[in-house]
Amino acid sequence: MRAELATADRIDLLCAFVKWYGIRVLEDSLRAAKERGVPIRVITTTYIGATDRHALDRLVRDFGATVKVNYEIRSTRLHAKAWLFRRDTGFDTAYVGSSNLSKAALLDGLEWNVRLSSIATPAVLNKFEATFDAYWNDSAFETYDPDHHADRLDQALTQASGTTSTTDLKINLSGLEVRPFPYQQDMLERLRVERELRGRNRNLLVAATGTGKTVMAALDYRSLSKSFNNHRPKLLFVAHRKEILKQSLRTYREVLDDASFGELLYSGEDPQAWDHVFASVQSLNIQRLEELAPDHFDIIVIDEFHHATAGTYRRVIDHFKPKELLGLTATPERMDGLNVQDEFFEGRIAAEMRLWEALENDLLCPFHYFGIPDGTDLTNLTWQRGTYADQELGNLYTGNEARARIVVKQIRDKVSQPGAMRALGFCVDKKHARFMADFFQKAGFQATALTSDSPAAVRAQALADLRAGSCKTSSLWTCSTRASTFPMSTHSCSCAPPTALRSSSSNWDVDYGVLRRNPCSRSSTSSDSIGRSSASKSSSEL
């Protein structure tokens, strides 16, 4: 390796981590390369927190290297190890194998590497260079400057190593960790272009559940505050559940580094200042709206904007005249044909990151989907407004033990450790949810049913038990809570056909909310029970 460094005119290194003693082994050769004016490019990651930050500092300061780092800690984006040595003579060489830049890898470790050359394997070297340049120009790899990014890198390495929890970091380092991921920065930039260059102040941001819609909205608000002479503009954030409001308020406080920011408006809780309000859509009734001037709020953010065609949401949207309106949703398309981008935004989507894009970029947990025929005959049910009649569907599924046995059998077949799984089951109605929870219990599973009738304390305890693993299965009536509200390692079991979930928006949002990444998530399994319907309805159901 020292001989290669001594004769190279350009040096590229790709490795998962860089260690201090690895630099020590090659320091004389690296210093000589710097003295000869040899450009050095290094791509690395925060993988398992193994990189020594001071090693990167030294590469930049002592050896003139340009270093790029992938800060992604939710998934392993890079695990390759390779050196490329370019020469003006045209005799290029490369080493590809298992060695990172560490003492063990370079001296006494049991490593496997292969040497390539432009003479023997020119096509491979050309592919190497093209791939390296593609990574180098990927926004996920960010240039590292020790004078500006040391704290951020230390924090990312600590979190990636598992020695400090994400929660602890947010408490102790508020203001340091809330930076957009590259894909979020790109979406925020596109949103800014819509406003500043095209003069559009009503915008829709579409992002798959788990990619950080609320974080982007909070970062956008922080950025917009600068145009209000650095004072915080009046904000209304609208959602349909208290749990979502509380999570969103916490996110804004973390992004703004202000523990006192915002007030809740929800069933008995009334704001005092009315400057930064996180309100349930139900609380914004006609009487409440009459008390508020149309221009009272400068910025309005509406979560789950695919519900905006409902009367409760339209009432809010029609009443207020904010300087900026931002809609957030994972799925703007609806089965009833009233797509919200057409209804409210002239067919525009300001920025989007769809489910398939998020999966392709390894931003969400991989999933296994199983469509399981359960033999239920749906052909005689009434079909209305793009779905089956609720009462008829509920009567058909509730008490159907034969179908319930199929659901339980498929879980045991498809999940490696059914007793250890944590699962969500989405049901047709309240009776069906209670029936399925009871059936799971009789089958030996720990299970509970959550519906809109569940008291808040019972609901909170059930979700806490599900997170902790003391309760393994929850049956939920028609998405009475979002899977994204409690990220965990889950097996998502859909106990109802897709038509019970109102629209494709609901399907995507609740069934794939469990794909949100967290340190324990490796994959998620979704079992979808499919009944028999007429050919005229089958395409809609799918």
Distance CA 288, CA 272 (A): 14
Pairing assessment for the beta strands 324-329 and 202-207 based on DSSP bridges? parallel
Which range, 22-36, 91-105, 474-488, is most confident? Answer: 22-36
Structure tokens given for 87: 């020469």
Distance CA 237, CA 210 (A): 19
Using CA atoms, how far residue 56 sits from 101, 148, 149, in Å, is: 11, 13, 11
Please check whether residue 419 is in contact with residue 455, taking contact to mean a CB–CB distance below 8 angstroms: no
Please check whether residue 476 is in contact with residue 424, taking contact to mean a CB–CB distance below 8 angstroms: yes
Burial readout 28-62 (b: 16 or more C-beta within 10 A, e: otherwise): ebbeebeeeebebbbbbbbbebbbbbebbbbbbee
Using CA atoms, how far residue 536 sits from 243, 376, 380, 409, 540, in Å, is: 39, 17, 13, 30, 8
**Mean pLDDT across the stretch 16-40?**
92
Q: Check whether 60 has a pLDDT greater than 70.
A: yes
List, for residues 249-299, the tens digit of each pLDDT value: 999 999 998 999 999 998 878 999 999 999 999 999 999 999 999 999 999
Of the candidates 390, 337, 368, the one whose C-alpha atom is nearest the C-alpha of residue 499 is: 390
pLDDT for 481: 37
Please check whether residue 137 is in contact with residue 116, taking contact to mean a CB–CB distance below 8 angstroms: no
Provide the pLDDT confidence category of residue 498 given band limits of 50, 70 and 90: very low
pLDDT for 326: 97
Please check whether residue 55 is in contact with residue 25, taking contact to mean a CB–CB distance below 8 angstroms: no
pLDDT for 59: 95
List, for residues 285-338, the tens digit of each pLDDT value: 999 999 999 999 999 999 999 999 899 999 999 999 999 999 999 888 876 667
Which range, 155-159, 233-237, 457-461, is most confident? Answer: 233-237
Domains of the chain: 1-161 (3.30.870.10), 182-359 (3.40.50.300), 365-532 (3.40.50.300)
Of 228 and 206, the one with more pLDDT: 206
C-alpha 295, offset from chain centre: 33
Distance CA 148, CA 81 (A): 27
Cα diameter, the chain: 82
- Classify 529 as helix, strand or coil: strand
Q: How many residues appear in the chain?
A: 542
Structure tokens given for 106: 């370079």
pLDDT for 511: 44
List, for residues 384-408, the tens digit of each pLDDT value: 766 788 889 889 999 999 989 998 8
Distance CA 64, CA 55 (A): 13
Of the candidates 170, 167, 171, the one whose C-alpha atom is nearest the C-alpha of residue 179 is: 170
Q: At what angle do helices 430-442 and 401-414 cross, to 10 degrees?
A: 60
Provide the pLDDT confidence category of residue 493 given band limits of 50, 70 and 90: low
Please check whether residue 498 is in contact with residue 538, taking contact to mean a CB–CB distance below 8 angstroms: no
- Classify 94 as helix, strand or coil: strand
Of the candidates 161, 146, 182, the one whose C-alpha atom is nearest the C-alpha of residue 73 is: 161
Please check whether residue 427 is in contact with residue 498, taking contact to mean a CB–CB distance below 8 angstroms: no
Distance CA 351, CA 133 (A): 26
Which range, 104-118, 226-240, 470-484, is most confident? Answer: 226-240
* Average predicted confidence (pLDDT) for the chain: 82
Distance CA 472, CA 415 (A): 13
Range from 52-66, 268-282, 448-462 carrying the lowest mean pLDDT:
448-462
This prediction's pTM: 0.68
Of 499 and 197, the one with more pLDDT: 197
Portion of the chain with pLDDT greater than 90, in percent? 42
**Mean pLDDT across the stretch 516-521?**
58
Provide the pLDDT confidence category of residue 423 given band limits of 50, 70 and 90: confident
Quickly list DSSP for 213-256: HHHHHHHHHHHHHGGGTTSPPPEEEEES-HHHHHHHHHHHHHHH
Q: Check whether 488 has a pLDDT greater than 50.
A: no
Residue 509 burial by Cβ neighbours in a 10 Å radius (0-12, 13-18, 19+): buried
**What is the sign of the dihedral through the CA atoms of 15, 21, 27 and 28?**
negative
Of 18 and 462, the one with more pLDDT: 18
Query: Residues 6 or more apart from 86 whose CB is under 8 A from it?
Result: 8, 9, 10, 11, 12, 92, 129
Please check whether residue 376 is in contact with residue 403, taking contact to mean a CB–CB distance below 8 angstroms: yes
Provide the pLDDT confidence category of residue 459 given band limits of 50, 70 and 90: confident
- Report, in angstroms and rounded to the nearest whole number, the Rg of the chain calculated over CA atoms: 27
> For 433, what's the count of Cα atoms within 13 Å in the CB-facing half-sphere?
23
Provide the pLDDT confidence category of residue 208 given band limits of 50, 70 and 90: confident
Q: Check whether 496 has a pLDDT greater than 60.
A: no
Q: Check whether 347 has a pLDDT greater than 50.
A: yes
Distance CA 315, CA 235 (A): 18
Residue 523 burial by Cβ neighbours in a 10 Å radius (0-12, 13-18, 19+): exposed
Burial readout 98-123 (b: 16 or more C-beta within 10 A, e: otherwise): ebbbbbebbeeeeeeeeebebeebee
Structure tokens given for 521: 């998530």
Portion of the chain with pLDDT greater than 70, in percent? 82
The phi and psi torsions of 276 (rounded to 5 degrees) equal -135, 95
List, for residues 102-115, the tens digit of each pLDDT value: 766 666 677 788 88
